[in-house]
Protein backbone atom coordinates (compact mmCIF):
# COMPACT_ATOMS: atom_id res chain seq x y z
CA UNK A 1 0.00 0.00 0.00
CA UNK A 2 1.26 3.45 -0.86
CA UNK A 3 2.12 5.67 2.07
CA UNK A 4 0.66 9.15 2.27
CA UNK A 5 3.72 10.83 0.75
CA UNK A 6 3.65 8.55 -2.29
CA UNK A 7 -0.07 9.07 -2.70
CA UNK A 8 0.28 12.86 -2.51
CA UNK A 9 3.20 12.84 -4.96
CA UNK A 10 1.14 10.86 -7.47
CA UNK A 11 -1.87 13.11 -6.97
CA UNK A 12 0.24 16.22 -7.40
CA UNK A 13 1.72 14.84 -10.64
CA UNK A 14 -1.78 14.16 -11.97
CA UNK A 15 -2.96 17.68 -11.11
CA UNK A 16 0.16 19.21 -12.67
CA UNK A 17 -0.52 17.23 -15.86
CA UNK A 18 -4.11 18.51 -15.94
CA UNK A 19 -3.05 22.13 -15.38
CA UNK A 20 -0.51 21.88 -18.20
CA UNK A 21 -3.13 20.43 -20.55
CA UNK A 22 -5.66 23.14 -19.66
CA UNK A 23 -3.18 25.95 -20.15
CA UNK A 24 -1.87 24.49 -23.43
CA UNK A 25 -5.34 24.06 -24.94
CA UNK A 26 -5.52 26.23 -28.06
CA UNK A 27 -9.17 25.37 -28.77
CA UNK A 28 -10.60 27.64 -26.06
CA UNK A 29 -13.09 30.00 -27.75
CA UNK A 30 -12.64 33.71 -27.18
CA UNK A 31 -14.59 34.94 -24.18
CA UNK A 32 -15.56 38.18 -25.96
CA UNK A 33 -15.17 39.99 -22.65
CA UNK A 34 -14.12 43.60 -23.13
CA UNK A 35 -11.38 43.32 -20.55
CA UNK A 36 -8.97 45.86 -21.99
CA UNK A 37 -11.73 48.41 -22.58
CA UNK A 38 -13.91 47.90 -19.51
CA UNK A 39 -11.92 46.04 -16.86
CA UNK A 40 -11.58 47.75 -13.50
CA UNK A 41 -10.02 44.67 -11.85
CA UNK A 42 -13.26 44.08 -9.95
CA UNK A 43 -12.54 40.36 -9.74
CA UNK A 44 -8.85 40.71 -8.75
CA UNK A 45 -8.30 41.05 -4.99
CA UNK A 46 -6.06 44.07 -4.62
CA UNK A 47 -4.84 46.81 -2.33
CA UNK A 48 -7.43 49.56 -2.13
CA UNK A 49 -10.44 47.32 -2.79
CA UNK A 50 -11.66 47.30 0.82
CA UNK A 51 -13.41 50.71 0.70
CA UNK A 52 -15.32 49.86 -2.49
CA UNK A 53 -19.05 49.34 -2.21
CA UNK A 54 -20.35 45.79 -2.89
CA UNK A 55 -21.65 46.81 -6.32
CA UNK A 56 -18.11 47.72 -7.34
CA UNK A 57 -16.60 44.34 -6.46
CA UNK A 58 -17.14 41.30 -8.64
CA UNK A 59 -15.12 38.88 -6.51
CA UNK A 60 -12.96 39.61 -3.45
CA UNK A 61 -11.40 36.12 -3.32
CA UNK A 62 -9.62 33.78 -5.74
CA UNK A 63 -9.54 30.14 -4.63
CA UNK A 64 -6.92 27.89 -6.21
CA UNK A 65 -7.54 24.23 -6.94
CA UNK A 66 -5.61 21.49 -5.13
CA UNK A 67 -1.90 21.78 -6.00
CA UNK A 68 -2.57 24.83 -8.19
CA UNK A 69 -0.64 27.02 -5.78
CA UNK A 70 2.36 24.70 -6.09
CA UNK A 71 1.99 24.67 -9.88
CA UNK A 72 2.00 28.46 -10.08
CA UNK A 73 4.96 28.64 -7.71
CA UNK A 74 6.91 26.24 -9.92
CA UNK A 75 6.03 28.06 -13.14
CA UNK A 76 6.54 31.64 -11.92
CA UNK A 77 9.06 31.36 -9.07
CA UNK A 78 6.74 33.21 -6.69
CA UNK A 79 6.93 32.41 -2.98
CA UNK A 80 4.20 30.69 -1.01
CA UNK A 81 4.16 33.81 1.17
CA UNK A 82 2.05 35.70 -1.39
CA UNK A 83 -0.88 33.32 -0.84
CA UNK A 84 -3.19 32.87 2.09
CA UNK A 85 -3.16 29.19 3.01
CA UNK A 86 -6.39 27.37 3.86
CA UNK A 87 -6.04 23.72 4.91
CA UNK A 88 -8.65 21.21 3.81
CA UNK A 89 -8.95 17.54 4.71
CA UNK A 90 -8.58 15.15 1.79
CA UNK A 91 -8.96 12.19 4.14
CA UNK A 92 -8.93 11.97 7.94
CA UNK A 93 -5.15 11.45 7.68
CA UNK A 94 -4.26 13.72 4.77
CA UNK A 95 -4.53 17.51 4.76
CA UNK A 96 -3.95 19.72 1.72
CA UNK A 97 -2.92 23.36 1.65
CA UNK A 98 -5.12 25.44 -0.64
CA UNK A 99 -3.84 28.82 -1.79
CA UNK A 100 -6.14 31.82 -1.95
CA UNK A 101 -5.80 35.50 -2.78
CA UNK A 102 -8.03 37.93 -0.95
CA UNK A 103 -8.27 41.48 0.32
CA UNK A 104 -5.72 40.74 3.02
CA UNK A 105 -3.29 38.97 0.66
CA UNK A 106 -3.99 40.82 -2.60
CA UNK A 107 -3.07 39.42 -5.99
CA UNK A 108 0.68 39.89 -6.54
CA UNK A 109 0.27 39.34 -10.28
CA UNK A 110 -2.08 42.24 -11.01
CA UNK A 111 -0.23 44.95 -12.92
CA UNK A 112 -0.88 48.68 -12.79
CA UNK A 113 -2.65 48.51 -16.17
CA UNK A 114 -5.03 45.85 -14.77
CA UNK A 115 -3.45 43.11 -16.87
CA UNK A 116 -2.42 39.77 -15.36
CA UNK A 117 1.31 39.32 -15.03
CA UNK A 118 1.00 35.51 -15.26
CA UNK A 119 -1.84 35.22 -17.75
CA UNK A 120 -0.32 32.11 -19.32
CA UNK A 121 -0.39 30.38 -15.90
CA UNK A 122 -3.24 32.10 -14.10
CA UNK A 123 -5.62 30.11 -11.86
CA UNK A 124 -8.65 28.37 -13.31
CA UNK A 125 -10.86 30.41 -10.97
CA UNK A 126 -9.60 33.52 -12.78
CA UNK A 127 -9.82 31.97 -16.25
CA UNK A 128 -13.40 30.91 -15.67
CA UNK A 129 -14.70 34.23 -14.34
CA UNK A 130 -17.41 35.58 -14.65
CA UNK A 131 -18.69 32.00 -14.53
CA UNK A 132 -18.91 30.78 -10.93
CA UNK A 133 -19.16 27.02 -10.33
CA UNK A 134 -20.85 25.40 -7.36
CA UNK A 135 -22.23 22.01 -6.39
CA UNK A 136 -25.91 21.27 -6.05
CA UNK A 137 -27.10 18.97 -3.22
CA UNK A 138 -26.67 15.94 -5.49
CA UNK A 139 -23.03 16.81 -6.17
CA UNK A 140 -23.54 18.02 -9.73
CA UNK A 141 -22.12 21.27 -11.06
CA UNK A 142 -24.33 24.31 -11.32
CA UNK A 143 -23.42 27.82 -12.42
CA UNK A 144 -24.01 31.43 -11.54
CA UNK A 145 -22.56 34.63 -12.97
CA UNK A 146 -20.43 37.35 -11.43
CA UNK A 147 -23.05 40.06 -11.86
CA UNK A 148 -20.63 42.91 -11.18
CA UNK A 149 -18.35 42.04 -14.10
CA UNK A 150 -18.37 45.09 -16.41
CA UNK A 151 -18.14 42.81 -19.47
CA UNK A 152 -20.81 40.32 -18.51
CA UNK A 153 -23.16 41.24 -21.36
CA UNK A 154 -20.47 40.28 -23.89
CA UNK A 155 -19.71 36.80 -22.51
CA UNK A 156 -19.53 34.21 -25.30
CA UNK A 157 -21.77 31.13 -24.92
CA UNK A 158 -19.10 29.03 -26.64
CA UNK A 159 -16.50 30.13 -24.09
CA UNK A 160 -18.94 29.41 -21.26
CA UNK A 161 -19.61 25.89 -22.49
CA UNK A 162 -15.92 25.18 -22.93
CA UNK A 163 -15.12 26.25 -19.36
CA UNK A 164 -18.07 24.29 -17.99
CA UNK A 165 -16.76 21.20 -19.77
CA UNK A 166 -13.31 21.78 -18.27
CA UNK A 167 -14.80 21.87 -14.78
CA UNK A 168 -16.91 18.78 -15.46
CA UNK A 169 -13.76 16.88 -16.41
CA UNK A 170 -12.01 17.99 -13.22
CA UNK A 171 -14.99 17.35 -10.95
CA UNK A 172 -14.07 13.74 -10.01
CA UNK A 173 -10.65 14.95 -8.81
CA UNK A 174 -11.90 17.79 -6.61
CA UNK A 175 -12.58 16.81 -2.99
CA UNK A 176 -15.85 17.90 -1.39
CA UNK A 177 -13.87 19.77 1.27
CA UNK A 178 -12.53 22.05 -1.49
CA UNK A 179 -16.08 22.88 -2.56
CA UNK A 180 -16.93 23.72 1.05
CA UNK A 181 -14.06 26.22 1.07
CA UNK A 182 -15.08 27.62 -2.31
CA UNK A 183 -18.66 28.11 -1.18
CA UNK A 184 -17.48 29.86 1.98
CA UNK A 185 -15.16 32.12 0.00
CA UNK A 186 -17.86 33.00 -2.54
CA UNK A 187 -19.79 34.84 0.17
CA UNK A 188 -16.75 36.29 1.88
CA UNK A 189 -15.96 39.99 1.82
CA UNK A 190 -12.31 39.49 2.59
CA UNK A 191 -9.98 38.92 5.46
CA UNK A 192 -10.68 41.18 8.46
CA UNK A 193 -9.11 44.60 8.17
CA UNK A 194 -6.07 45.16 10.37
CA UNK A 195 -6.91 46.93 13.63
CA UNK A 196 -4.44 49.74 12.96
CA UNK A 197 -5.93 52.19 10.48
CA UNK A 198 -2.50 53.08 9.10
CA UNK A 199 -1.69 49.45 8.34
CA UNK A 200 -1.46 48.62 4.61
CA UNK A 201 -4.24 46.50 3.06
Residue-wise pLDDT tens digits, 173-197? 999 999 999 998 876 766 666 554 3
The residue extents of the domains of the chain are: 30-186
- Is the predicted pLDDT of residue 111 greater than 80, yes or no? yes
In the chain, DSSP assigns E strands to: 62-63, 84-89, 95-101, 131-135, 141-145
Query: Please, which pLDDT band fits residue 201 given cuts at 50, 70 and 90?
Result: very low
Rounded to whole angstroms, how far apart are CA atoms 56 and 17?
36
CA dist 3 to 7, 92, 190, Å? 6, 14, 37
Instruction: Give CA–CA dist 130/59, Å, rounded.
Output: 9
**Spatial CA neighbour of 97 closest among 77, 120, 73:** 73
Dihedral of CA atoms 38, 43, 47, 50 in degrees, nearest 10, equals 110
pLDDT tens profile 52-75: 887 888 888 999 999 999 999 999
Answer whether 101's CB lies under 8 Å from 45's CB.
yes
With beta carbons less than 8 A apart as the criterion, state whether 105 and 188 touch: no
Q: Distance (Å, rounded) from C-alpha 146 to C-alpha 129?
A: 7
Amino acid sequence: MQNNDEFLAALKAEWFKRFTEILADKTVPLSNLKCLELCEARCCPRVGMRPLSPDKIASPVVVLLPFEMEYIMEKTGVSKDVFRIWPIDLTPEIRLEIGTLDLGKPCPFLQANHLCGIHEHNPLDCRTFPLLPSLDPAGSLEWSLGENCPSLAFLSPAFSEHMKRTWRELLPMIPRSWWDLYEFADHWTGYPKPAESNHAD
